């Protein structure tokens, strides 16, 4: 039976990583190489090397860089093999994940390998989908909590209210669902998030990315604005508006960093560069598109939903539509039935035009939920979050990098082997 946690590993674009297999079995190698055609592995570098544990040791002895995940195939598993695994561990950095493929199905052997720190033990012949699942799980666990959720909020055009709805979703996640949440803007110097969240931009996206790349956690943490007990915001927006700004790979590194600390990451994609939008939409667990009930916006929404469908095979279940500012354009608006027919789906939520609520909250730098109307609106957004965060408790899950439970099977080969 597939659980919701399992679907995380089968429904998102995997992070940039290198996976190396040392194997000779033709079926195992063929299944591994076929992953290059899997859309989830677009950013994963898949390397096959002929051999086994001895060849892996020789490669790393000669200075070959260790991958994020190492897959070792063996024909015999005995004390000699496990001893060679210990030797191999000495050449890999801490945190390297490992999967072993062997010839026999033995519960005691499986328990022994897991106790040594191996991520998983698979028995030949290995089905391609099984191998894909285990690789995906190892990579996702390596960059953060398996329960971390990435929520992308994108407007189909400017001026549809994407930013303030992103804020409302983040506050709902933090205050009502009790999730430790971070809100991240992708607009650089075009960001208006600081106005609605009542902070002065203290950094740029490029500076934040450099802090992540240099592993300067102290500097990065100072870039976070603590909006509430459970809500942080990256205090960017100081970028030069007419510069190119941050590239998509650097921005994705920010997301990876935040997903190791926050169970819920909300990304506001308004005014984001096209390449950056594509990356985040490809990875998101939930995609919320914001539109208006007018022809130009709905035409853009239909085109965008089709493009997302081309990127994501699971777009029907991952994309939700919010129709905002209903009533603003009066007779110029498309009717509900025509809207649903044109988009071939029902909106998840329709929000009446209420300029005093939205503009008042943004201009005064206060929560949308600080008024009764705003609180009701935030409550109406929560089902969209509950699709992917319901059942995850911030109190029990905690931050993925708190160090309290990192010595589990998925932390990699070295943590336990080097203590022997």
For residue 393, name the pLDDT band (cuts at 50, 70, 90).
Answer: very low
CA–centroid distance for 334 within its chain: 35
User: In this predicted model, what pLDDT tens digit does every residue of 338-369 receive, in sequence order?
Assistant: 999 989 889 999 999 988 888 877 777 778 88
Region of poorest pLDDT, from 157-161, 208-212, 401-405? 401-405
User: Which domain does 205 fall in, by range?
Assistant: 149-397
Co-location of 56 and 139 in the same domain: yes
User: In this predicted model, what pLDDT tens digit does every residue of 48-66 receive, in sequence order?
Assistant: 999 999 999 999 998 888 8
Co-location of 352 and 388 in the same domain: yes
Co-location of 99 and 163 in the same domain: no
Q: How far is CA 366 from CA 190, 385, 414, in A?
A: 20, 21, 48
Co-location of 135 and 281 in the same domain: no
Q: Which token pair is 224? A: 């976070």
Q: What pLDDT does residue 351 have?
A: 93
Co-location of 65 and 140 in the same domain: yes
What is the Cα–Cα distance from 380 to 382, expressed in whole angstroms? 6
230-259: average pLDDT: 84
Q: What pLDDT does residue 188 have?
A: 81
251 and 276 Cβ atoms separated by less than 8 Å: yes
Mean of pLDDT over the chain: 82
Co-location of 124 and 235 in the same domain: no
Q: How many domains is the chain built from?
A: 2
What is the residue-wise DSSP string for 139-199? HHHHHS-TT-EEEEEEESSTTSSHHHHHHHHHHIIIIIS---EEEEE--GGG--HHHHHT-
Q: What pLDDT does residue 401 have?
A: 30
367-372: average pLDDT: 84
Co-location of 132 and 210 in the same domain: no
For residue 137, name the pLDDT band (cuts at 50, 70, 90).
Answer: confident
The pTM score is: 0.62
Q: What is the CATH number of the domain that holds 66?
A: 3.40.50.2300
Co-location of 409 and 352 in the same domain: no
Co-location of 88 and 162 in the same domain: no
Co-location of 388 and 412 in the same domain: no
What is the Cα–Cα distance from 269 to 155, expressed in whole angstroms? 7
Q: What is the CATH number of the domain that holds 386?
A: 3.40.50.300
Q: What pLDDT does residue 90 have?
A: 85
Using a pLDDT cut of 70, give the percent of the chain over it: 87
247 or 3: whose pLDDT is higher?
A: 247
Partners of 268 in the beta sheet? 153, 185
Co-location of 381 and 409 in the same domain: no
Co-location of 168 and 230 in the same domain: yes
């Amino acid at each position: 039976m597939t659980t919701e946690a399992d679907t995380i590993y089968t429904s998102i674009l995997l992070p940039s990583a290198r996976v190396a297999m040392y194997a000779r079995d033709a079926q195992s190698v063929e299944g591994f190489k076929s992953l290059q055609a899997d859309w989830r592995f677009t950013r994963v570098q898949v390397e096959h090397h002929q051999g086994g544990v001895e060849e892996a040791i020789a490669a790393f002895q000669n200075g070959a860089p260790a991958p994020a995940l190492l897959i070792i195939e063996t024909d015999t598993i005995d004390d000699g093999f496990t001893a060679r695994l210990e030797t191999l561990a000495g050449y890999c950095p801490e945190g390297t994940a490992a999967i072993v493929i062997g010839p026999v199905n033995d519960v005691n052997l499986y328990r022994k390998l897991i106790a040594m720190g191996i991520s998983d033990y698979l028995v030949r012949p290995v089905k391609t989908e099984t191998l894909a699942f285990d690789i995906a799980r190892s990579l996702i666990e390596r960059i953060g909590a398996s329960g971390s959720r990435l929520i992308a909020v994108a407007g189909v055009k400017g001026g549809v209210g994407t930013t303030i709805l992103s804020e409302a979703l983040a506050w709902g996640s933090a205050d009502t669902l009790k999730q430790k949440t971070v809100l991240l803007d992708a607009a650089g110097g075009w960001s208006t998030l600081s106005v609605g969240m009542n902070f002065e931009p203290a950094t740029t996206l490029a500076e934040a990315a450099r802090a992540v790349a240099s592993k300067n956690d102290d500097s990065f943490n100072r870039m976070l604005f603590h909006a509430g007990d459970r809500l942080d915001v990256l205090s960017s927006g100081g970028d030069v508006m007419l510069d190119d700004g941050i590239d998509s790979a650097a921005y994705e590194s920010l997301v990876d960093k935040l997903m190791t600390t926050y169970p819920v990451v909300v990304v506001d994609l308004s005014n984001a560069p096209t390449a950056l939008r594509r990356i985040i939409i490809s990875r998101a667990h939930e995609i919320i598109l914001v539109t208006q009930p007018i022809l130009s916006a709905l035409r853009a929404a239909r085109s965008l939903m089709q493009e997302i469908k081309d990127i994501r095979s699971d777009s029907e279940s991952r994309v939700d539509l919010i129709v905002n500012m209903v009533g603003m354009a009066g007779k110029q608006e498309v009717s509900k039935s025509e809207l649903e027919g044109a988009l071939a789906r029902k909106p998840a939520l329709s929000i009446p035009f209420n300029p005093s609520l939205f503009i008042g909250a943004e201009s005064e730098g206060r929560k949308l939920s600080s008024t009764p109307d705003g609180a009701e609106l935030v409550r109406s957004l929560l089902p969209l979050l509950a699709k992917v965060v319901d059942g995850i408790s911030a109190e029990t899950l905690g931050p993925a990098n708190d160090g309290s439970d990192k010595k589990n099977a998925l932390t990699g080969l070295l943590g336990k082997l080097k203590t022997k």
